[in-house]
A and B are shown apart, each in its own frame.
Chain A
């Protein structure tokens, strides 16, 4: 029984992490049709900002968390201004290649200015403790992660439904020109989307750092690749789809690890990507996304 609960929690926390990152990708995609592969480097930047703040200012973990969130939002908005504004009207492929380019530039900047080796940043590790509930032993980090993701999704939903900017962002996903005709500034909507995406990246960064305890130039690439897959499964640009896809992937990954013999552990990623290819061939627009509703929000 506790084994089952343990694995369910594993799947939930993996899923929560993927869902957080996938949401960050989906919110930008729904509005400007950009697959933002540089999202992973925003996460890595959050990790480096931890080191900077901790050396220059204070190593208090709560201040550091706020710092990480702020730096990720800043990085995301700056990237939009510097790199993605010029390709706003371009087609999907151009945007995708630009995002890959930005991602390579940032990775190498981290390499050049930081270090090619992982740098220790252990201030968040205290989040990861083993709790004993009855006779079940669970990691506190997994509970925080699942909880924080659910709260973040709830707040995001409130924001998108109750505020003007949120409503404008939902409308922009359907018909950007119409939103502009209604007198909403395009730049503000897009900057808003990138800011939210940065905030979600910051949240993901905190949990990733709590698990790894170190930051490396390439650490954002693999999580974003997986989150990208989650978006594809759920239907790109659909926020519920991103969340669903994230949790589905978490479950698949844990299932592959549990069900297949140990020696096939390395094949988890191959299994996940095979799944994606099959889903795309079966339903080219993703599971949750009948072509018309693509980009519809929560």
Chain B
């Protein structure tokens, strides 16, 4: 194995470092000027960022749309939550749980590893089928996975509480933890993109027959990328459960899928930089719109309360990007390439 990095991989390190600086600057700005309610917004943004960067790994490099990520995130969140919640608390929140699920508790690290492991195995099992299919077949099966997992969440109320909240999860993570996770995620995703696997995967996306002719094992690399992607979603799910204290099935369905997919395609799904910028832009846009939604007073004019405005914005962004900017803001380029071109 040759461990020295080639040029694009060294560039990748620089690019990831620049993106990490942006993330750190955001966190720094919060600690200096921010108010405490903004910690929640920032944390949610970073959870979304983990998901979107994970989406980029499979969806961006393979150029195949998949919608099942919130299902994997939900599975990891529930596994982590069920393992880490103290048994005394679970006796109240999950009184009917079968198999002694409410009679044990594990340390946060073991819970997180278990959640990663279970989600990873499920990712592998689904990936065995997903990697065989092409194009829109993947999209349809991923929708099927999403619907199946959601029905199970809703049906087994004794384990998952369905649409009610599963509460009592201790708060383990805070802003510093997720900041580190996000930075690690950016580096991993970028290095994956520039690794031999990533290059091969992007080659299949551009010309599958050509890539096969060059000896690329399309099935194998799609499977690897799919599993790596699910691990990102699992991390996001764990981070979500470890911060909020309560989870329910509702957030892990189509709305969240559309939100994250919109973030990815706005930034441009072929680059990690695009994933990061798309997430930040949509989050900022949505925060402004949410404030308008509540009917604020602007220039001494009282605006009416407008529910649904944020959803409207999201839909318009998706339609407009698809129509006028199919490659997103960043297209195929990463941040260090843009910076070099400028100087």
Using a CB–CB cutoff of 8 Å, the interface residues on chain A facing chain B are: 35, 83, 86-87, 90, 92-94, 96-98, 100-112, 116, 217, 221, 225, 228, 232, 264, 266-267, 269-270, 273-274, 276-277, 280-281, 284
Q: Known interface pairs A269-B147, A274-B144, A281-B129. Does A112 touch B309 (Cβ–Cβ under 8 Å)?
A: yes
**Would you call A105 and B316 a contact (CB within 8 A)?**
yes
**Would you call A104 and B133 a contact (CB within 8 A)?**
no
**Closest residue to A275 on the B side, CB-wise?**
B144
Q: How far is the CA of A122 from the CA of B64 in the complex (A)?
A: 44
Q: Does B39 contact A (CB under 8 A)?
A: no
Tell me the chain B residues, 39-84 only, with Cβ under 8 Å from chain A. 63-65
Interface of A is mostly: helix
Q: How far is the CA of A277 from the CA of B125 in the complex (A)?
A: 13
Q: How far is the CA of A281 from the CA of B141 in the complex (A)?
A: 9
Q: Known interface pairs A93-B136, A266-B154. Does A225 touch B147 (Cβ–Cβ under 8 Å)?
A: yes
**Would you call B308 and A269 a contact (CB within 8 A)?**
no
> Could you list some 26 contacts between A and B, CB below 8 A?
A83-B319, A90-B326, A93-B135, A96-B136, A97-B65, A98-B318, A98-B323, A101-B262, A101-B315, A102-B315, A104-B258, A104-B318, A105-B315, A108-B308, A108-B309, A108-B312, A111-B307, A112-B308, A264-B155, A269-B147, A270-B147, A273-B143, A277-B144, A277-B148, A284-B133, A284-B134
Q: Known interface pairs A92-B136, A270-B147. Does A105 touch B326 (Cβ–Cβ under 8 Å)?
A: no
CB distance from A131 to the nearest CB of B (A): 34
**Closest residue to A35 on the B side, CB-wise?**
B136
Q: Does B177 contact A (CB under 8 A)?
A: no
Q: How far is the CA of A46 from the CA of B261 in the complex (A)?
A: 29
| Chain B positions within 8 Å of A97 at CB level | 65, 261, 265, 318, 322
> Of the candidates A104, A111, A232, which one forms a contact with B314 in the assembled complex, judged by CB atoms under 8 Å apart?
A104
| Chain B positions within 8 Å of A96 at CB level | 65, 136, 139
| Chain B positions within 8 Å of A105 at CB level | 312, 315-316, 319
Range for the number of chain B residues in contact with chain A:
35 or more
Q: How far is the CA of A110 from the CA of B312 in the complex (A)?
A: 10
| Chain B positions within 8 Å of A232 at CB level | 140
Q: How far is the CA of A274 from the CA of B63 in the complex (A)?
A: 25
| Chain B positions within 8 Å of A103 at CB level | 315
**Closest residue to A92 on the B side, CB-wise?**
B136
Looking at B135, B144, B314, the one whose CB has the most chain A CB atoms below 10 A away is B144
CB distance from B133 to the nearest CB of A (A): 6
Q: Does B151 contact A (CB under 8 A)?
A: yes
Q: How far is the CA of A105 from the CA of B154 in the complex (A)?
A: 27
CB distance from B11 to the nearest CB of A (A): 28
CB distance from A227 to the nearest CB of B (A): 13
Q: Known interface pairs A98-B318, A112-B309, A267-B151. Does A280 touch B140 (Cβ–Cβ under 8 Å)?
A: yes
Q: How far is the CA of A266 from the CA of B151 in the complex (A)?
A: 7
**Would you call A109 and B312 a contact (CB within 8 A)?**
yes
Q: How far is the CA of A209 from the CA of B53 in the complex (A)?
A: 42
Q: Does B137 contact A (CB under 8 A)?
A: yes
Q: How far is the CA of A92 from the CA of B134 in the complex (A)?
A: 12
Q: Known interface pairs A87-B323, A92-B136. Does A116 touch B308 (Cβ–Cβ under 8 Å)?
A: yes
CB distance from B278 to the nearest CB of A (A): 13
Given A106-B315, A116-B307, 20 more A-B residue pairs with CB atoms under 8 Å apart are A90-B326, A93-B139, A98-B322, A104-B258, A104-B315, A105-B319, A107-B311, A108-B309, A110-B308, A112-B308, A228-B140, A266-B155, A273-B143, A273-B144, A276-B140, A276-B141, A277-B144, A280-B141, A281-B132, A284-B134
Q: How far is the CA of A110 from the CA of B309 in the complex (A)?
A: 11
**Closest residue to B136 on the A side, CB-wise?**
A92
| Chain A positions within 8 Å of B261 at CB level | 97
Q: How far is the CA of A86 from the CA of B324 in the complex (A)?
A: 8
CB distance from B289 to the nearest CB of A (A): 11
| Chain B positions within 8 Å of A35 at CB level | 136
**Closest residue to B326 on the A side, CB-wise?**
A94
Q: How far is the CA of A277 from the CA of B315 in the complex (A)?
A: 28
| Chain B positions within 8 Å of A92 at CB level | 135-136
**Would you call B145 and A277 a contact (CB within 8 A)?**
yes
| Chain A positions within 8 Å of B129 at CB level | 277, 281
Q: Does B91 contact A (CB under 8 A)?
A: no
| Chain B positions within 8 Å of A90 at CB level | 322, 326
